[in-house]
Amino acid sequence: MGMLDGKVVAVTGAGRGVGREVALLCAAHGAAVIVNDPGVGGGGEGGDAGPAQQTVNDIVAAGGRAHANLASVADPAGATSIIEDAVQRFGRIDAVVNNAGILRDTIWHKMSHEDWRAVIDVHLNGCFNVSKAATPYFREQQSGSFIHFTSTSGLIGNIGQANYSAAKLGIVGLSQSIALDMARAGVRSNCIAPFAWSRMTASIPAETPAQKARLEKFKEMSADKIAPLVVYLASDAAQEVTNQIFSVRKNEIVLFSKPRPVRSMTKVEGWTPESIAAELIPAFAPSFARADEVSAHVFGYDPI
């Protein structure tokens, strides 16, 4: 008996990397899987049916059920086709895994409008499009699980990824609102920030000794380590788990806090710019996040 027996799961970006591993494990746990992937390059260029079909072939060869969908999640009609394929071919939809993504990294002052729009369209708008398409079915059956992939680039920050970071933090806000709005229908919405070696993390610069060392650590974190948490969140065992932000880092699973006040200071007569400079900032400064903070500062230890 698998944790997902009888369920139907749609996984976007499932032709390679993390999405592929998620699709394979969902199928191994009994789910019928819609394997969505248009087979584009890392920056969203081109298209190839091969990756999605290969994942489907591997699931079927192992005795599972799967169907390939080549639509772009950035296209509302394409996103809708992912959910319709699930319902038409397998009779229902129980979980949506919003994993599809592209990267167009560049330092902020060189980022083009096109690079901004392309990344926002796939990550944030794509997440909205697929989730929106599944929502009527989830409401009708009074159950369902959304599992959205965020990133520490959004939760913490990263250099050269303003578009990606903004999209990934936006996904957290979207997930929170879905969780609150859909709770009455028994629908859950959670986020996962994965640490894993894939095409996307392979683009991390590796010029300095420190950068090369960081890259080697990433190579230790294989994509298959992410999949068990996804299977759990898609299952009935997670019925009480919603509106959370998780991270997976090799064999470590982390629960992230949401932004909460860390310091407060009141001046009953009101603040002036001068008193802010003289009193407030010196009091707050010990609690400031470091100006150059990236995930390596937060996770300052080797993957476990």
Q: Is the pLDDT of residue 274 over 90?
A: yes
CB 104 within 8 A of CB 163: yes
Secondary structure of 66-127 as H, E, C letters: EEEECCCCCCHHHHHHHHHHHHHHHCCCCEEEECCCCCCCCCHHHCCHHHHHHHHHHHHHHH
| Residue with the larger pLDDT of the pair 121 and 215 | 121
Question: What is the percent of the chain where pLDDT is above 70?
Answer: 95
State the pLDDT at residue 211.
67
Reported as a single tens digit per residue, the pLDDT across 65-78 is: 999 999 999 999 99
Give the strand pairing for 144-149 and 32-36.
Answer: unpaired
pLDDT band at 207 (very low <50, low <70, confident <90, very high): confident
Output the pLDDT for position 173: 98
pLDDT(254) > 90: yes
pTM score, whole prediction: 0.94
First-last CA distance in the chain: 30
pLDDT at 202 > cutoff 70: no
pLDDT of residue 261: 97
pLDDT of residue 196: 87
* pLDDT greater than 80 at residue 203: no
pLDDT digits (tens, 9 = 90+) for 128-156: 999 999 999 999 999 999 999 999 999 99
> Tokens 């894993």 identify what position?
196
Neighbours of 299 (CB within 10 A): 17
Question: Partners of 69 in the beta sheet?
Answer: 36
Residue tagged active-site, from 137, 164, 232, 301: 164
Say yes or no to pLDDT of 215 above 80. no
pLDDT tens for each residue of 33-60: 999 999 999 999 999 999 999 999 999 9
Tell me the backbone φ, ψ of residue 189, rounded to 5 degrees: -145, 120
- Cα dihedral: 157, 158, 162, 166 (round 10): -30
Residue 220's pLDDT is 80
Give the tokens for residue 193. Answer: 């920030």
| Active-site annotation holds for 164 | yes
Supply φ then ψ for residue 33, to 5 degrees: -125, 130
Q: Which helix (H) or strand (E) segment is 149 a member of?
A: strand 144-149
**11 beta partners:** 35, 97
Closest CA to 32 of 50, 15, 7: 7
The mean pLDDT of 248-270, rounded to a whole number, is 97
What mean pLDDT value characterizes the chain?
Answer: 95
Structure confidence at residue 39 (pLDDT):
96
Q: How far apart are CA 192 and CA 198, in angstroms?
A: 16
**Average pLDDT of the residues in 18-44:** 97
